[in-house]
């Protein structure tokens, strides 16, 4: 097992400590980290998310992936769906109403509010037996004043002293949401995801992870459809 390098924790790519991100005023501050993440998302959107390879999925969604050149085989996945709701409502559903679309959610809380649109957030999700629950602690920030009414949300794992582990601690390398209005009370939701769930084999990431991402985004969309009914 010591020869395996399937997990980012084995590669030394662990989440940054929140104390370091708060104390640093330069390139390692949490503001810089989040700004770079939002800028990267907006650049991808401007370039129409080029570089992804499409693949089929049983879900009613557009699924694609690309390889990230950082020495790991862990793919970055992208899911797109049309949602029958305004962009800000979709953002609110993702931020504050996770229990309405995440069927595996066990608990969630805001660990620390840093600014009006920035916080450390913890959520625990159930896993199929015999796997233990997965615990996520993320630094996240969102914007609602982008051109054309676009909203965006970016998340990345952090190590926070006030967030005790409530399961296997995942490493959220990339989790970004781009929500673009596309008509009256309609939005185009794009989710980019790359998470090390710890203890999963490469085959699971390549063959199953993307479809789970698609199912999750579809549940976000369907949470609005159910309300309409």
Question: 221: burial class by Cβ within 10 Å (0-12, 13-18, 19+)?
Answer: buried
Per-residue b or e along 102-127, where b marks 16 or more CB atoms closer than 10 Å to that residue's CB? beeeeeeeebbebeeebbbbbbbbee
* DSSP label of 147: G
Query: Regarding predicted confidence, which is higher, 209 or 2?
Result: 209
What are the tens digits of pLDDT across the range 12-53? 467 888 988 888 666 778 999 999 999 999 999 999 999 999
Looking at residue 10, its pLDDT comes to 45
* Lowest model confidence (mean pLDDT) among 169-173, 211-215, 223-227: 223-227
pLDDT in tens, 60-78: 999 999 998 776 678 999 9
Enumerate residues 6+ apart whose C-beta is below 8 A from 182: 82, 188
pLDDT of residue 143 exceeding 90, the answer is yes
Q: How many CB atoms lie within 10 A of CB 67?
A: 12
Task: Please give the pLDDT value at position 7.
Answer: 42
Q: What is the pTM of this model?
A: 0.91
Q: Give me the pLDDT at residue 128, please.
A: 78
Q: Which of 160, 209, 141, 132 is nearest to 21 (CA)?
A: 160
CATH level 3 topology of 16-228: Alpha-D-Glucose-1,6-Bisphosphate; Chain A, domain 4 (3.30.530)
Q: Looking at the chain, how many residues does it have?
A: 229
Mean pLDDT, to the nearest integer, of 188-201? Answer: 92
Extents of the domains making up the chain: 16-228
> Do residues 41 and 176 make contact, with C-beta atoms less than 8 angstroms apart?
yes
d(CA 156, CA 136): 10
Q: Which of 82, 88, 192, 95 lies closest to 149, judged by CA?
A: 88
Neighbours of 204 (CB within 10 A): 13
pLDDT in the model for residue 72: 67
């Amino acid at each position: 097992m010591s020869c395996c390098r399937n997990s980012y924790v084995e590669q030394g790519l662990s989440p940054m400590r929140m104390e370091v991100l708060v104390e640093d005023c330069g390139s390692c501050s949490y503001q810089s980290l989040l700004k770079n993440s939002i800028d990267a998302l907006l650049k991808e959107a401007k370039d129409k998310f080029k570089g992804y390879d499409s693949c089929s999925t049983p879900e009613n969604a557009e699924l694609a992936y690309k390889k990230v050149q950082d020495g790991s085989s862990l793919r970055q996945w992208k899911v797109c769906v049309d949602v029958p709701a305004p962009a800000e409502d979709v953002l609110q559903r993702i931020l504050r109403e996770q229990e309405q679309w995440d069927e595996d959610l066990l608990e969630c809380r805001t660990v620390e509010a840093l600014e009006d649109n920035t916080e450390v957030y913890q959520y625990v999700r159930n896993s199929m037996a015999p796997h233990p629950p997965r615990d996520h602690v993320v630094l996240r920030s969102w914007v609602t004043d982008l051109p054309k009414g676009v909203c965006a949300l970016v998340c990345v794992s952090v190590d926070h002293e006030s967030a005790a582990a409530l399961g296997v601690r995942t490493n959220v390398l990339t989790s970004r949401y781009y929500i673009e209005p596309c008509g009256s009370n309609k939005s185009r939701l794009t989710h980019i995801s790359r998470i090390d769930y710890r203890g999963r084999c490469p085959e699971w990431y390549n063959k199953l992870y993307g479809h789970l991402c698609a199912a999750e985004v579809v549940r976000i969309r369907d949470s609005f459809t159910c309300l309409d009914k």
